[in-house]
Amino acid sequence: DGGITQSPKYLFRKEGQNVTLSCEQNLNHDAMYWYRQDPGQGLRLIYYSQIVNDFQKGDIAEGYSVSREKKESFPLTVTSAQKNPTAFYLCASSGSGRGGTGELFFGEGSRLTVL
């Protein structure tokens, strides 16, 4: 089935450690996104990528890093510089181009807890 796969679903990290969240899609979408969601809140954009080997900062990029070496993959690293990393992280993709709509397809999320 086509879709977006995020892993791991749950992750625990000690303070000071970097952690990488995986996001893979087989929808042949050009654009991929990472959002952060805090309890009872909406989604905030961390990073997005419209094409392979290119990405842009969203509204809350500090303390995060990404790469886009393959069309299918857009991993997010939460670094030790992120002061409050405990959150629910959502990856999404969409078909890009002017004829598209920006409709997003989401993975099931990764819940990161810093101990």
Partner 1 sequence: SQQGEEDPQALSIQEGENATMNCSYKTSINNLQWYRQNSGRGLVHLILIRSNEREKHSGRLRVTLDTSKKSSSLLITASRAADTASYFCATALYTGGFKTIFGAGTRLFVKA
Residue 61 makes contact with partner 1 by CB under 8 A: no
Task: Decide if 93 contacts 32 (C-beta within 8 A).
Answer: yes
Total binding residues for partner 1 by CB under 8 A? 32
- The DSSP bridge partners found for residue 77 are 20, 65
Neighbours of 32 (CB within 10 A): 30
Residue 108 makes contact with partner 1 by CB under 8 A: yes
Q: CA–CA distance from 24 to each of 5, 59, 99, 115 (Å)?
A: 5, 23, 24, 27
Cα–Cα distance measured from residue 97 to residue 82, given in angstroms and rounded to the nearest whole number: 32
Element holding 50 (H helix, E strand): strand 43-51
Stretch near partner 1 under the rule CB under 8 A, chosen from 20-28, 66-74, 78-86, 94-102: 94-102
Residue 23 makes contact with partner 1 by CB under 8 A: no
Task: Return the number of the residue (13 or 44) whose C-beta is nearest partner 1.
Answer: 44
Pattern of binders to partner 1 over 34-53, x per CB under 8 A? -x----xxxxxx--x-xx--
Task: Return the number of the residue (11 or 104) whose C-beta is nearest partner 1.
Answer: 104
Binding site for partner 1 (CB under 8 A): 4, 30-31, 33, 35, 40-45, 48, 50-51, 59, 88, 90, 92, 94, 96, 98, 100-109, 111
